[in-house]
Amino acid sequence: MLKTIVDLAWSWFTSNIKLPFNKDALKAEAFDVAYNQGLPALVKSLEDMVPQQYRQNLNHGMWQAVKQAAESNDPAAFVKQAGDALQNSGQADSILKHIQQA
């Protein structure tokens, strides 16, 4: 379930936040942080990397669902919230396609 959460979060994050470094290396680090330090540490480390001009994107319902899932440790609630947020924003198809390609 952790992999599903990280995959959903990662797909949304890389689609909506433009980072100036190697995304593959960052993804490997993200999985390492998630598995070894937990989702709250992953959320914090990703938010700390976001350039100022993209910080407003972190207010999106999908990212807020990721933060809530990290804090509550309720994967089922996260998947529902994330699905609702993606559907409401019209990004569901794009994110699912991105996940399938990963």
Higher pLDDT, 93 or 49: 49
pLDDT mean across residues, the chain: 74
Confidence (pLDDT) at 82: 65
Confidence (pLDDT) at 92: 59
pLDDT digits (tens, 9 = 90+) for 5-35: 777 777 777 788 777 667 777 777 777 887 7
Domain of residue 11, residue span: 2-101
Confidence (pLDDT) at 94: 64
- Structurally, the chain folds into a number of domains equal to 1
Task: Give the Cα separation of 69 and 64 in Å (integer).
Answer: 9
For the question of whether the overall pTM of this predicted structure is more than 0.85, the answer is no
Confidence (pLDDT) at 32: 80
Task: Give the Cα separation of 37 and 6 in Å (integer).
Answer: 13
Residue bearing tokens 């993606």: 86
The interaxial angle of helices 2-16 and 23-37, nearest 10 deg, is 140
